[in-house]
Amino acid sequence: MKLSVVIVNHNMCELLRHTLSSLVDAGKNIDYEVFIYDNASTDGSVKMIESEFAQFHIISSQKEVSYSKAYNEVINLTTGQYILLVNPDIISSKKTLERTLEFMDEHSDSGALGVRMITPKGSFLPESNRGLSSQWIAFFKLTGLAKYFPKSRIGDRNRKDWVEEFQTSEVDFVNSAFMLLRRSVLNDIGLFDEQFAMYGHDIDLSYRMRLAGFKNYYFPKTYIINFNWANTHKLNWQFVKNFYGAMIIFAIKYLFRMPEIKLDGMQQLPLAYEVER
């Protein structure tokens, strides 16, 4: 199996329908499988998948669990050489899967890859190549961790070597809205840290890949439409606990003894990054 697509869904039936339809179109020339972990939805998501996408695998949980735990459970069931995590509120272009897999095949040093993300109105989402929200950027600045991530646009925004929207480049973090992973790398470094409930799991995994000597890439020669539905429902205690709690976990895990990223033939920080212009 070339590719295993993994989606964790919670009450996003209508958007998930469009996501799955776009994956069917994008996967016509690929040996792939799709696993959907339904995280205790009550909006008919399971029935929709069973009736309209019977060719896909579904794991239905009666109890809502953390995203990292759900991803880990499903990844252990997959068989693909590559594993693609996608949110249930994205639309893939028809060539996205083919082009990203081709890039990963050509770059054996890659651990993860993200793509250019745009809004439904066509605006570029800067999380595509920086991998971080504004809150995480502020966190890295305040804790001093920013110096370890020179390609995350955390520091001086006028640096000339930063990655632009249409430049293929090595980056620090890959956003889990579309996160293509090499299985052999996961076998080396392990799966998601389940301390991170809903947020920060992709940041932690991206960093662990860098620590292990693998590269994360931003690939803008294809795109997805990201409806970003989850980010419209933030003003509640559960969000505050999970989102900012992830920052505390990350700080405890790395701040007091920041591991060095070691790559053969490369100097230590600041790191050199590969860019295709």
For the chain (length 277 residues), average pLDDT per consecutive 10?
98 97 97 98 98 98 94 98 98 97 97 96 88 67 69 53 77 93 97 88 91 94 87 58 73 65 44 47
Could you tell me the pTM of the whole model? 0.83
Q: How far apart are CA 53 and CA 146, in angstroms?
A: 43
178, burial (CB in 10 Å: exposed 0-12, middle 13-18, buried 19+): buried
Q: How far apart are CA 77 and CA 4, in angstroms?
A: 10
3-state secondary structure of 173: coil
Q: How far apart are CA 18 and CA 79, in angstroms?
A: 24
Residue 204 token pair: 């932690």
Question: What's the confidence (pLDDT) of residue 158?
Answer: 47
State how many domains the chain has. 1
Per-residue three-class SS string for 208-272: HHHHCCCEEEEEEEEEEEECCHHHHCCCCHHHHHHHHHHHHHHHHHHCCCCCCCCCCCCCCCCCC
Question: What's the confidence (pLDDT) of residue 198?
Answer: 79
Phi and psi of 79, rounded to 5°? -125, 0
3-state secondary structure of 183: helix
Largest CA distance in the chain: 54
CB 213 within 8 A of CB 262: yes
CB 208 within 8 A of CB 189: yes
Question: What's the confidence (pLDDT) of residue 248?
Answer: 77
CATH number of the domain bearing residue 113: 3.90.550.10
Q: How far apart are CA 98 and CA 119, in angstroms?
A: 22
Containing domain of residue 57, as a range?
A: 3-276
Question: What's the confidence (pLDDT) of residue 26?
Answer: 97
Per the document, the length of the chain is 277
Question: What's the confidence (pLDDT) of residue 16?
Answer: 98
Hey, how many other C-beta atoms are within 10 angstroms of the C-beta on 245? 16
Question: What's the confidence (pLDDT) of residue 177?
Answer: 94
